[in-house]
Structure formats: C-alpha cells, structure tokens
C-alpha cells in the first residue's frame, strides 16, 4: 500500500533486491475499512515480477468470495479479520483447503480470545498496531501487552509454529519493541518505501529487531 502504484513492478523488484522476505499485499474494499486499493487481477499481474511469497491481508467484507481468485493469482498466505467472517473456523478452513496458509488479523479493539478455539486452522496472527485502512499512522504502544499475551497463548498451546506478525508504525525503534514482545514477522510499508536506500532500511529493521532472516 505504501508503494508507488504507477511503478508497482519496479517497486516490488526493488524491495526483493533490498532483501525483503515476503510481499505484504493490502486489499481494501472501502467498506470494511475507509480506503480502496485493488483486487485479485492486480495480484495476478504482479505474480510474474517476483518469486517472493505473497502475504495477502484482506480488509474486506465477505473475504471468502475472493479466495479462489487469489489462489489462482498466486497468493501464498491470506489473512482475514474475524469481524468480516460469519463463521471464522469455516473461513480459515476454506483458505487452507486451497493449499494456502491462513491468518487472522486482530484490530486494536479485537480481543485475543477469538483465537483460542481456532488455533488448529491458523498459520499466522497479525496484530494491528494501528487502526487499519491507511499507512503512515503512529504506532500504538498499548498493543505491546497484547503481543506478549499472544506469545503466552501460543506457548501454552505449543504453537510456536504460528507466525506473530505486526503491522502499523513499524520502524527501527518500534521493531525492537514488538520483537521483544514476541513478534517474528514485521510489516513495514512507509519505513521501507519512504527510503531511497531500501536495503539499508531493511537491514536497520533486522538489526533492531533481531528477526531471523
């Protein structure tokens, strides 16, 4: 979302060359969140640009309607919001049935207890450290205890294989905070795309967070 959409292919190549691990793709419908980006056709068009995994974050109503098209477009992970799903377990299972890893995104107000009976269907939990919809927002420090509680929950259930991802206001300073709280996957839009030297920006995140490359 933070990239220059008029040069999307070049932007993706630049962050791959700079050392990014995944491409995080924000899909918004201007209903679930007050913003609009793009849909599966764009995902399909950019799939040939990179071999990096596509980490698709759906901020849309009725996300299940997009799963088949996203699978065909080359998505590797799809993350949904529980508030957008009538039956979260069924939604997650339908993602995994397509051979795609499934994630759950938790807005700042969303409690962790929505996850407790879903863990067998989850590969990733995304903690939003801003309110979703727009990039460039300030990091919410109040989400750090939530991250720690999530780490404790996953440890309790022996699910260290589930990624703990954070998105919102991530930079070299906040990367250290969220990693210390238990995160191991960082989404950085403005911090990366806003820099001329993107390799240096990614290196700075890794150095600050000590996230394994």
CA-angle at 201, arms to 198 and 206, nearest 5°: 130
pTM of the predicted model as reported, rounded to 2 decimal places: 0.95
pLDDT tens, position by position, 7-50: 999 999 999 999 999 999 999 999 999 999 999 999 999 999 99
Catalytic residue set: 26, 167
Alpha helices by DSSP H, listed for 22-112, are: 40-46, 67-73, 88-97
- Note the pLDDT of residue 12: 97
Is residue 213 scored above 80 in pLDDT?
Answer: no
CA–CA gap between residue 59 and residue 35 (Å, rounded): 9
């Amino acid at each position: 979302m933070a990239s220059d959409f008029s040069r999307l292919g070049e932007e993706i190549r630049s962050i791959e060359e700079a050392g990014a691990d995944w491409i995080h793709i924000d899909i918004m419908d201007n209903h679930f969140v007050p913003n609009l980006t793009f849909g599966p056709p764009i995902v399909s068009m950019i799939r040939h640009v990179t071999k990096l995994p596509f980490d698709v974050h759906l901020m849309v109503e009725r996300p299940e309607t997009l799963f088949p098209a996203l699978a065909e477009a080359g998505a590797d992970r799809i993350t949904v919001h529980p508030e957008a799903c009538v039956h979260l377990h069924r939604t997650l299972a339908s993602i995994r049935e397509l051979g795609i890893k499934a994630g759950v995104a938790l807005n700042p107000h969303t409690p962790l207890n929505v996850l407790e009976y879903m863990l067998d269907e989850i590969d990733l939990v995304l903690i939003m450290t801003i309110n979703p919809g727009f990039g460039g927002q300030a990091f919410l420090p109040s989400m750090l205890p939530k991250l720690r509680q999530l780490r404790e929950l996953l440890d309790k259930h022996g699910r260290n294989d589930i990624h703990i991802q954070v998105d919102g206001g991530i930079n070299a300073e906040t990367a250290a905070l969220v990693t210390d709280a238990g995160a191991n996957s960082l989404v950085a839009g403005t911090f990366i795309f806003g820099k001329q030297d993107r390799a240096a920006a990614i290196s700075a995140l890794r150095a600050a967070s000590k996230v394994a490359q």
